[in-house]
Structure 1
Amino acid sequence: MKEQIYTTIIFDIDDTLMEFALSEQAALHNTFMEFDLPNGFMDMHASYRAISKVLWNELELGNIALRELGVERFRRLFLEHQTDKDPLDFSSTYLSYLGKEAHLMAGALEVLEQLSHCQLVIMTNGFGDVQKSRLYNSALTDHFDHIVISEEAGYQKPNPGIFDYAFSKIGTAAKAKTIIVGDSLTSDIQGGINYGIDTVWFNPKGKNNESAIQPTYEIKDLLEIIDIVNGSFTQGKEGCK
């Protein structure tokens, strides 16, 4: 067996270890119902997703603060649909529901158990209380050495500041043997490239990479990470040697 060179693995949460779409749908539905909008999810979900995508991109660029984003997405949504609900109250209720949702991606728990000999780290862009609640409500909670959340770090991926914050906990000596795993090219992969660590693009749906961002590895199944760490993965860079 080839010598393992990755001893620290940084994982994204949403759409990497947890299926975010199910969590979002359940939380939005419950919030719309609480605010007496029984058709709200059906009528507004597509608009919400479009608005949210724009704002999360702005967050990655550093053009909007996280808490501002949390309210602004609903302010824009209600303006578009001429709804007089309070976006601040709606946002607070939505985040409360979201924190109760934890739907694991296939293979998530198994890959963490198989890599328990490594230092495992969460790095996520999101609200600290929500992401911690989702982790604690899942079977993943006891598998991580460190949990790094953008709201607490003061920076979000791909900004190098969140990596500096993470390595202040991980230890800078670990950098050469660290890899980051995530579904977002612009957040996880670009962030890893910017910081000089190897990257794994988790791409279960086989999306075309039409960007200039080139991950070290690309996988469709989370369990392939085990092969990368063991040095038996052949696609892309020649595994761990």
Structure 2
Amino acid sequence: MPPLLLFDLDNTLIDRNQAFRGWARHFLRTRALPQEDLGWLSTLDCGGYFPREALMRAAVARYGLRVSLESLLDDYAETMIELIDCPEAHCAALRKARAAGWTLGIVSNGSTRQQQAKIERTGLDGLVDAWVISEEANYEKPDPQIFRLAADRCGLAGQGTANTWAEEEWTRSTWMVGDHAPADIAGAAVAGLRSVWLDHGRPWPELGYHPTLTAAGLPEAVDEVLAAPLVP
């Protein structure tokens, strides 16, 4: 059975926060609002974990905007897709893992339309074997079922003679790489997977669980996985 390497999407494969800052500058500039408020918007965004509708309502209230919430959300979605990019170093890391015999997948929480558009625009759809997005899957990280579904779409889950999916052989040779501890690393832990946390210069925030490995960025994470034993 080939080993499986799963990746988070936002701020793991792609720099979602950089795209958000680009949208925020666009939002402020096109409405003649203070560019100094970039920090306010970025803080409120909370790395994408603050609901979009609530963020737009807060912006409308702060600036007294006479515009519909729907139009703001549409502009946000379109601009974010235009600004999303997958760095070449990340693409090269995926190709390196593929050349080493790994099956690759993406496990992402979020809107199917938005996340699918990101995957396609960046060319990631041609670099991985399959992906799962929480909205269409009806599972959300850290639910272990979403990782099992990703393995299934990659053609690996269900192989072997285990009685339950948690005992299946694929879990022993699967890694999850992500930047968000409660979703990616906790999810990997409860699914029985090894994990690499992308620290982005941050200290580890949790006490109850820990990643198998920590890396500064995605290329380093892939190198660490390729250097590790195939099974623990």
Q: By the TM > 0.5 criterion, same fold?
A: yes
Instruction: Please give the per-residue CA displacement for 1:110-167, whole angstroms capped at 9, x wherever unaligned.
Output: 1111111211001112222222222222243311111111221123222334224323
TM norm structure 1: 0.77
| 1:9 alignment counterpart | 5
User: Offset at 1:78?
Assistant: 2.0
Q: How far, CA to CA, are the matches of 1:228 and 1:169 in structure 2? A: 25
Please, which of 51, 60, 71 is the counterpart of residue 44 of structure 2? Answer: 51
Q: Residue 184 in 1 paired to residue 184 in 2?
A: no
User: Residues 21 and 42 of structure 2 are in contact (CA less than 8 Å); yes or no, is this contact kept in structure 1?
Assistant: no
Contact persistence 1:19–1:104 (CA under 8 A): yes
Cα distance in 2 for partners of 1:209, 1:110 equals 27
In percent, how many aligned pairs have the same letter?
20
Query: Which segment drifts farther, 122-131 or 159-168?
Result: 159-168
Superposition deviation, residue 24 in structure 1 = 1.2
Matched, 1:209 2:204: yes
1:169 match: 153
**Secondary structure of 1:223's partner?**
helix
Structure 1 contact 6–240 (Cα < 8 Å) conserved: no
Give the equivalent residue in structure 1 for 2:135: 151
The answer (yes or no) to whether the contact 2:185–2:197 under 8 Å persists in 1 is yes
Equivalent of 2:117 in 127, 133, 138: 133
* CA displacement 1:147-193 (0-9 Å, x = unmatched): 11122112322233422432342332422211100111122111111
CA gap of 1:132–1:56, structure 2 versus 1, over 3 A, is same
Write out per-residue CA displacement over residues 4-37 of structure 1, whole angstroms, 9 at most, x where no aligned residue.
Answer: x97101111121111112211223333455xx51
1:90 aligns with 2:72: yes
Q: Does 1:228 align with 2:224?
A: yes
- Verify: 1:29 aligned to 2:22, yes or no: no
CA distance in 1, matches of 2:85, 2:2: 27
CA deviation after TM superposition for structure 1 residue 226, in Å: 4.1
How many pairs are equivalent?
216
Shift of 1:54: 8.9
| Structure 1, unaligned runs of 5 or more | 58-68, 234-238
Contact residue 8 and residue 177 of structure 2 kept, 8 A:
yes
Unaligned runs of 5+ in 2: 160-169
Q: Structure 2: how far apart are the matches of 1:129 and 1:54?
A: 19
Counterpart for residue 60 of structure 1: none
Could you tell me which amino acid in structure 2 is paired with residue 140 of structure 1? Answer: L
Q: Considering only aligned residues, what root-mean-square deviation do their CA atoms show, in Å?
A: 2.6
